[in-house]
Amino acid sequence: MSSQLNSMATSSGSEKQSRSLAELIRSGDAAAEQELVLRYSRGVKAILRNAAADRSVVDDLHQETFRIALEKIRRGDLREASGLSGFIASLARNLATDYFRRSRRPDSRDAATLESIQSSEAGALDRIAAGEQARCVRQVLEELNTERDREILRRFYLSSEDKEKICDDWGLSSLQFNRVLHRARERYRELYEKATSGRDKS
């Protein structure tokens, strides 16, 4: 698995672009800085969401990631320009880990987590999005072929059980299991995009 991931990380086909982007930033090109932010913004947010549940923290760390990244690239601290993606991903993850370590004590952890859940639920737009998500997931569950597939989805997403155990319980191969996840995810995406594009139009 790790060799597959390493090859993914280095063979994305955009190494040349990354190199020239870093070189342009180093030479003081402001447009290249904007391009860097546009190109990596979505990915950085995904990493930060994965590391911290609180949306306000994600926004703050997102800004901080690009501030530090641009500073380092301008200074020439990025040794291998072709490793720009890895550099930015690792910077975002480290900032989130560092934030977590500094801001949370073990005994206040649960309370802080609950607060972040509560605060992340605020806002009318969030409630609308949550309602649409719930409708889409209900439809996905209804459309799944069997109760087995519905149960697999619930156990995989809502518990910390190993995939191997879930596969064993249902007598499934890893590939069959992945197909259930894949079908559910793609159908959910299709339904949610349809629902949100309808909302955007209205």
Query: Which residues form the interface with other proteins (CB under 8 A)?
Result: 1-2, 5-9, 11-12, 14, 18, 39-40, 42-44, 46-47, 49-51, 53, 77, 85-86, 88-90, 92-93, 97, 100-101, 104, 106, 109-110, 113-114, 116-117, 130, 133-134, 136-138, 140, 153-154, 156-158, 160, 163, 175, 177-179, 181-182, 184-186, 188-189, 192
Q: Which is nearer to other proteins, 50 or 146 (CB)?
A: 50
CA distance 58 to 83: 24
Note the residue count of the chain: 202
For residue 201, the minimal CB distance to other proteins (Å) is 20
Residue 36, class by beta-carbon neighbours within 10 Å (0-12 exposed, 13-18 middle, 19+ buried)? buried
Q: Which is nearer to other proteins, 32 or 177 (CB)?
A: 177
Of the candidates 112, 35, 96, 33, the residue with the CA atom closest to the CA atom of residue 62: 96
For residue 55, the minimal CB distance to other proteins (Å) is 12
CA distance 67 to 61: 10
